[in-house]
Amino acid sequence: MTLPTDQPQRDTKLGPANSAEPAAVDAARATPADPHCVSGSAPGDASSQAAGARQANRTPMKQSPEDEAVTGKLLAAAAQELRQFVERTERLAAEKQDIADQMKEVMAEAKGRGYDTKALRRLIALRKRDPDDVAEEEAILDMYKVALGM
């Protein structure tokens, strides 16, 4: 049995060390937000400010003309390769559209000669499938028709 006290009780389920603050708040304090921050120091510490100052005082490496030439050649090669991929994809898309237009013309011609285009599309779809799968589906359909008296 516990006796009531004047002090509020802390919830032990919230954060580490029985704090009344959520665990995420405690974790945010422990994790440095500054990428240049030394491990174990808070973002506002003097050690983290000194580490940031050291990073800021570094001079970037200067590229030599040879480095720039190599970089330029690599970028040009990558740009050329990228351009080739884009152009090939565009050509294929144009060919795909041409083929779709030709298929529409064939269906329009078949319809003009009196054929049912819906049945033609169904036949084309059946011809694409495995004959065993088609036979199995037709057998099941026939069995269902017999069961329903159709």
Among residues 34, 23, 72, 83, the alpha carbon closest in space to that of 56 is found at: 34
Which of 13-17, 63-67, 116-120, 140-144 bottoms out in mean pLDDT, i.e. has the lowest?
A: 13-17
Same domain (yes/no): 99, 75: yes
Q: Does 80 map to a domain?
A: yes
pLDDT at 101 over 90: yes
User: What percent of the chain has pLDDT above 90?
Assistant: 48
Confidence of residue 28 (pLDDT cuts 50, 70, 90): very low
Mean pLDDT, residues 105-112: 98
Mean pLDDT, residues 133-142: 96
pLDDT value, residue 100: 98
Same domain (yes/no): 72, 111: yes
Over the stretch 79-93, which tens digit does the pLDDT of each residue have? 999 999 999 999 999
pLDDT value, residue 117: 96
Same domain (yes/no): 111, 122: no
Q: At what angle do helices 65-112 and 117-128 cross, to 10 degrees?
A: 130
Q: Which two tokens stand for residue 104?
A: 């529409």
Q: Does 72 map to a domain?
A: yes
Mean pLDDT for the chain overall: 78
Q: Which two tokens stand for residue 61?
A: 């490496």
pLDDT at 150 over 90: yes
- CA torsion 120-126-131-134 (nearest 10°) is -120
Q: What is the largest CA-CA distance in the chain?
A: 98
Question: Do 33 and 41 contact (CB within 8 A), yes or no?
Answer: no
Q: Does 136 map to a domain?
A: yes
pTM for the whole thing?
0.46
Among residues 18, 39, 36, 16, the alpha carbon closest in space to that of 26 is found at: 16
Q: Does 71 map to a domain?
A: yes
Same domain (yes/no): 122, 142: yes
Same domain (yes/no): 71, 108: yes
Q: Which two tokens stand for residue 35?
A: 């990428």
Same domain (yes/no): 133, 108: no
Per the structure, the count of domains in the chain is 2
Residue 131 structural domain: 116-149
Q: Does 24 map to a domain?
A: no
